[in-house]
Amino acid sequence: MVTPVQLFITFVLLVLSLADDVKLKHKPASKPVRLFTEEDLKMHDGSEEGHPIYMAIKGVVFDVTKGKEFYGKDGPYNALVGKDCTRAVAKMSLEPADLTSDTTGLTEEQLQSLESVFEGTYKTKYPIVGYTAIRILNQDGSPNEDFKPEDQPHFNMRDEF
């Protein structure tokens, strides 16, 4: 059952996705992408004026600074920035327990919602500035062979290590 909060979040994400661009297209990064640790992401949580605001979904780090009224300090979605919030986006949730990259136990509907918002909103509206270490590396530190750098021509893994 959809709660009023989930409905509101869905509505706001829809408005955000249509507000600036009626015609959706991929926004290329203005400089080469990089590898982010959790500590790196935390430094981009919207708490410092004039500092870029980053959030990660599915291990892809987006620069959401142009949406600072929503993602910046005291913004309604500030809880999503400075971390990988994949689970929260999939569940349309701002609950602290959901502010994680862990997708374990998500329903098929939630996974489809995640993919829709990831592709239709974030990848089309915000530049990709990097990837989380979790996306590129396995638990043992070896490279993740399944990693695909989402159409980023400037990404070079050897430059990141």
Domains of the chain: 35-143 (3.10.120.10)
pLDDT confidence of residue 83 = 96
Distances (CA, A) of 14 to 9, 64, 68, 79, 107: 9, 15, 17, 18, 21
pLDDT confidence of residue 140 = 73
- Residue 79 · residue 87 · CB < 8 Å: no
- What band does 145 get if pLDDT is binned at 50, 70 and 90? confident
Instruction: Write out pLDDT tens, residues 88-120.
Output: 999 999 999 999 998 899 999 999 999 999 999
Instruction: Tell me: pLDDT of 49 over 80.
Output: yes
Rounded Cα gap, residues 146 and 160, in angstroms: 17
pLDDT confidence of residue 70 = 95
User: Whole-model pTM?
Assistant: 0.70
